Structure 1
Amino acid sequence: MGGPPGGTGDDHPVPPAVLEAAIGWQLRQGEGDTSPADAQALADWVAAHPDHARAWRQLGDIDQHLARAAAGPGARAALLLPPRRRRPARVAGAVLGLALAVACGVLVLDRYQPVGQLLSDHRTATGERRTIVLPDQTVLHLNTRSAVNVVFSQDQRAIHLRAGEVAVETSHADPAERRPFVVLTEDGSLRALGTRFTVRRWPRAHTAGSDGAQGRGAPATEVAVTQSAVAARPANCAAAASEPCAAERIVSAGQGARLEGGWVDPWAAPPDADAWKDGMLVVDNQPLGEVVAMLARHRVGHLGVDPRVAGLRVTGTLPLADTDQALLALTAAVPVEVVWTTRWWVMLKPRAAP
């Protein structure tokens, strides 16, 4: 679960059995007929082990996200509790009402904070960016809608990028540190060679379809190196440097690579690939459809582009902290206008003739 920069005891996931027990306690509380004895039993359980207290605090953190997204009571339990533990409803109407509340809550919550990332060690919501300092003093910068798990072991220091984008600044504070630092994704591994680099795993944007929605290709992992080098390996190779891998490629500063389908291929990484750390999106002769897709990751609600203008080329710098201003800047750069159906449904369309 996420925590403040620098890490606390709450930054580490609890055992699944403990989390399941905590959810059971929360369900009993939600029934509304708890007695003083029940409250004492819960207090005793929380105090019995540090993992119990941590699980209870982590559920409270998820509660806050659900509250921001206006999800109904019990939505968290319905989302997280394994099916075998969900008890039959006493009243069919109550089940249907809860199901509808959960469905609506999940849809709203997922646009603000992807549901699948709620139990990650560190995560960001839509439009949020975070900086995390790991125990070895390596610095991670998380872009919007991103999630990582930290997996430090006796043999290596690793983070698993579950989704989104992370910029890594490896630490050299301890000269005795010999464990390699590795970023793992579903597509392979990236071993730092004393370096700074960014790794992202977004669905790749395509030209907008006839409905103006942004199409998405299958996710691939892309790395851009800004200092020193990275050893990139596809998923069919072991991450450990001691294991030989013919497909391994060394990616030097100023270069990029894409890991996909068991291969590592060169990728023309933009020179400002990590500008988002400073709240800026730098684009250089890119299609408007791709630019809008990148802005949409930082904005709650639907942001689309009319296919008639999706191919227009854009060059410039856009603010990520204020996507309204970014959209206005696009209207000055290319002949489009912003059409607001509601605050949460926005389209870029061809500019009307004067």
Structure 2
Amino acid sequence: MNDNTPHLPNDPREAAAYWFARVHSGRFTLAEKQQFGQWREADSRHEHEYRAIDEIWQAASLIAEDELRELLEAPQSHGGSRPRLSRRQWIAGGAAACAAALVAGVGLPRALTGSPSFEAEYATVAGEQRSETLPDGSVLELNTRSRIVVRYYDDQRRVELLEGEVMFSVAHNARQPFLVDAGPASVRVTGTQFNVRRDAAQVDVAVQSGSVEVTSGQWWNRHTATLTASQRTHVQPGELAAVEDTDIAALTAWRQGKVVFKEQPLERVIHEMNRYLASPIRLADSRLKGLSMTGVFNIRDADSFLQALRTTLPVAVRLRADGGADLALLR
């Protein structure tokens, strides 16, 4: 392809959706037509994914026009009315919306995704950790307060990380890539060990061995980073941080029931410990945020952690009836 070729998503299905939207946009140029043909011929998966989307589109022609209009028409704003468009205009105008829905994987017909050959949901509560071995031998280690959905298809293995943290040890299978969807971030591998943590709108990815590809952003404006052993990045909506080196052993010490802090702000330390505690520790004095802490602690021994606070920092600990504790600065 020439230098004017658009930056396509790496995933064949997402790239197919991009080309589908361009073909039906009404602004498909001769240069794009040539690039599109080259893309389809470059890999059999490209042709397969594009045909799958096109079959869905052809099926839309069987829907009554008034029903199709209800599906495609956006809600009217400010009380205005839309001009009545022909069927051809409605179909062409809805191409991008259809493609975006296909990429998002929301409500995809069986003709595109097929039924999963394996499906399961796993979860942990506060302080709980569990390990699950999947049908292909891949192992998932779930940290505290985590929830995932696993689905295996013929052409891919997909995990949706709804919340929490998971260490993935993925069995190698180049023909069936392993995909992790974690809100604003997605991770693609064939076989490796890596850790993914999802806290609200932020996702952290770190690699122990092998390599992974992390992507974020909308399908038409993807940002991608490749991580190898002892590297990490984090993702927020619309932002993919630079790749950096990391201490993967310290980051995944939770697998041995430990947490490691190296000059961490006390507020961050308490937030981390609270992930494992049924009753939280609270900072009752905002001045405590300026303190920092270093140490290795057992995630199941809150009493030892509180004792360490008393001996290393100017902190008063007041135990509550619910089993938690409030921290104040010693006067």
Is 1:234–1:264's contact at 8 Å kept on the other side of the alignment? yes
Question: What does residue 300 of structure 2 align with?
Answer: 321
Q: Does 1:126 align with 2:123?
A: no
Residues paired across the two proteins, number: 209
Matches within 5 A, 1:128-277: 128-172=128-172, 178-203=175-200, 219-237=201-219, 247-266=223-242, 268=244, 269-271=246-248, 272-277=250-255
Distance 1:267 1:154 in 2: 32
Deviation at 1:193, TM superposition (A): 4.7
Partner SS state of residue 242, structure 2? strand
Alpha-carbon displacement from aligned partner over 1:146-171 (angstroms, at most 9, x marks no partner): 00000111121111000011111112
Distance 1:235 1:160, change over 3 A: farther
Match of 1:242 in 2: none
Question: Which runs of 5 or more structure 2 residues have no equivalent in the other structure?
Answer: 1-119
Query: What displacement does 1:313 show?
Result: 1.2
> In the alignment, is the contact (CA less than 8 A) between 1:222 and 1:267 conserved in 2?
no
Partners in 2 of 1:327 and 1:165 — Cα distance?
Answer: 24
Q: Which has the larger radius of gyration?
A: 2
Supply the AA of the counterpart residue of 1:321: R
- Give the Cα separation in 2 of the matches to 1:277 and 1:154: 31
- CA deviations over 1:212-269 (Å, ceiling 9, x no partner): xxxxxxx21110111121100114239xxxxxx7521101211111122233212654
Moved over 6 A (4+): none
TM-score (norm 2): 0.59
- Kept after mapping to 1: 8 A contact 2:174/2:190: no
| Match for residue 303 of structure 1 among 271, 281, 286 | 281
Per-residue Cα deviation, 1:132-191 (whole angstroms, up to 9, x for no partner): 11111111111110000001111211110000111111124xxx6620011111112101
Residues 1:246 and 1:293: Cα distance change in structure 2 (over 3 Å):
closer
Q: Structure 2: which amino acid aligns with 1:169?
A: S
The secondary structure found in structure 2 opposite 1:231 is: strand
**AA at the equivalent of 1:348:** L
Q: Find the aligned partners of 1:279 and 1:340 in 2 and give their Cα distance.
A: 24
Q: Provide the C-alpha distance between the structure 1 equivalents of 2:272 and 2:225, rounded to a whole number of angstroms.
A: 28
Counterpart of 2:290 in 1: which secondary structure?
coil
Rounded Cα–Cα distance in structure 2 between residues aligned with 1:200 and 1:266: 17
Please list the CA deviations of residues 76-100 of structure 1 after superposition, one character each: whole Å capped at 9, or x if unmatched.
xxxxxxxxxxxxxxxxxxxxxxxxx
CA contact (8 A) 1:281 1:320 kept: yes
| One-letter amino acid of the structure 1 residue matched with residue 257 of structure 2 | G
Superimposed CA distance per residue, residues 24-47 of structure 1 (whole angstroms, 9 cap, x where no aligned partner)? xxxxxxxxxxxxxxxxxxxxxxxx
Unaligned runs of 5+ in 1: 1-119, 204-218, 239-244
Residues of 1 paired with 2:309 and 2:247: CA distance? Answer: 20
Q: Which residue of 2 aligns with 1:341?
A: 320
Q: What is the identity, as a one-letter code, of the residue corresponding to 1:347? A: D
Q: Which has the higher contact order (CA 8 A, sep 6+)?
A: 1
Distance 2:263 2:215 in 1: 30
Matches within 5 A, 1:56-95: none
Please tell me the residue identity of whatever aligns with 1:157: R
TM-superposed deviation, 1:326 = 1.8
User: Are the equivalent residues in 1 in contact too, given 2:217–2:223 (CA < 8 A)?
Assistant: no
Distance in 2 of aligned mates of 1:333 and 1:194? 43
Aligned to 2:265: 287
> Which digits, 9 at most, give the CA deviation of each residue in 1:17-64, with x for residues without a partner?
xxxxxxxxxxxxxxxxxxxxxxxxxxxxxxxxxxxxxxxxxxxxxxxx
SS in 2 for 1:150: strand
C-alpha deviations, 1:269-291, integer Å up to 9, x for none? Answer: 44311110110000111001100
Q: Distance in 1 between matches of 2:308 and 2:262?
A: 15
